[in-house]
Amino acid sequence: MHNRQAVLDYWNDPNVESMYDKYLIDAEINLIRRRLLPDSKILDAGCGEGEGSVVYAGIKGASIVAADFSDTRLAKAKERLAGLNNVSFQKVDFLDPWNLGGGFDAVVSQRFLINLMEWPLQQKVLAGLIQALSPSGRLILLEGHQKGVDELNAYRQASELEPIPVKWHNLFLDEDKLLPFMRELGCDQVDEDGLGAYFLLTRGVRPQLATELNWDCDFNRRAASPEVSDVLQLKAKFSRLKLWVFQKARAPSK
């Protein structure tokens, strides 16, 4: 409970920037957007400031429910999406009982679960998100990837750079726990991807070439391009974030 309140206080602080690296967040949203179909009912769980919601709202025929537990983040999201009539906003703490009507074609969790600092809490929320899906719906996770953290830090160590720690309020997903749990929930993994090229270039290579690491530089812009990703084909290797897509396939295990 102490951690839960501390995380809420953190995100309710209006001075906290949700993501300083805008090329990264745009690349994240692009990975998710490519998995969303027209005429979909979409839940953006833990929508934050609505950076993703505003993109998904542009999908033909889409309707979006943008939900978050932070008043501050929801206020920023409402400002960003002002005037859009296919978006509704809900204040939801997904650790408490909640009901947004269900029947979602897609539920998106983008760097949301990592703010739940214990695996049992992440499991509880995952189960609830699966229940909110339509029978053919898909859960799209773009979340912290502990294996990618370890791979990137191994590269940094070999390059005589300090490791990049996981922030105090985050618990990145352990795939060895995630995948069996999703199978228990009756879900199949149907897709995966990552931003390994971007992380390796911007967090591994560039620190060896420059002393000032401003995130809005041309190097990062080029590193974020799909063309660079296609050439390097790193997917989730070295990627501190990974995309997993799950689809309900059968009744959950007893």
Provide the whole-model pTM: 0.94
| CATH at 125 | 3.40.50.150
Range of the domain at 23: 2-145+168-194+240-248
| 84, part of any domain | yes
What pLDDT, in 10s, does the model give residues 46-69? Answer: 999 999 999 999 999 999 999 999
CA distances from 50 to 87, 138, 178 (A): 10, 20, 26
What per-residue confidence (pLDDT) applies to 1?
Answer: 45
**93 three-state secondary structure:** coil
* Domains in the chain, number: 1
With cut-offs at 50, 70 and 90, classify the pLDDT of residue 252: low
Strand ranges, E, within 11-112: 41-45, 63-68, 87-91, 104-110
pLDDT at 250 over 70: no
Residue found by looking up tokens 């160590």 in the block: 157
Q: Is there a domain that residue 89 lies in?
A: yes
Residues 118-133 have a mean pLDDT of 97
Note whether residue 254 is domain-resident: no
239 and 194 in contact (C-beta within 8 Å)? yes
Those residues with Cβ within 8 angstroms of residue 32's Cβ, 6 or more apart along the chain or in another chain: 52, 56, 108, 110, 140, 142, 243
Please report whether residue 88 resides in a domain: yes
Structural domain contains residue 37:
yes
| Each residue's pLDDT tens digit, 34-49 | 999 999 999 999 999 9
Residue 16 lies in a domain: yes
- Half-sphere exposure in the Cβ direction for 164 (13 Å, CA): 18
Question: Is residue 209, in this structure, part of any structural domain at all?
Answer: no
Residue 118 placed within a domain: yes
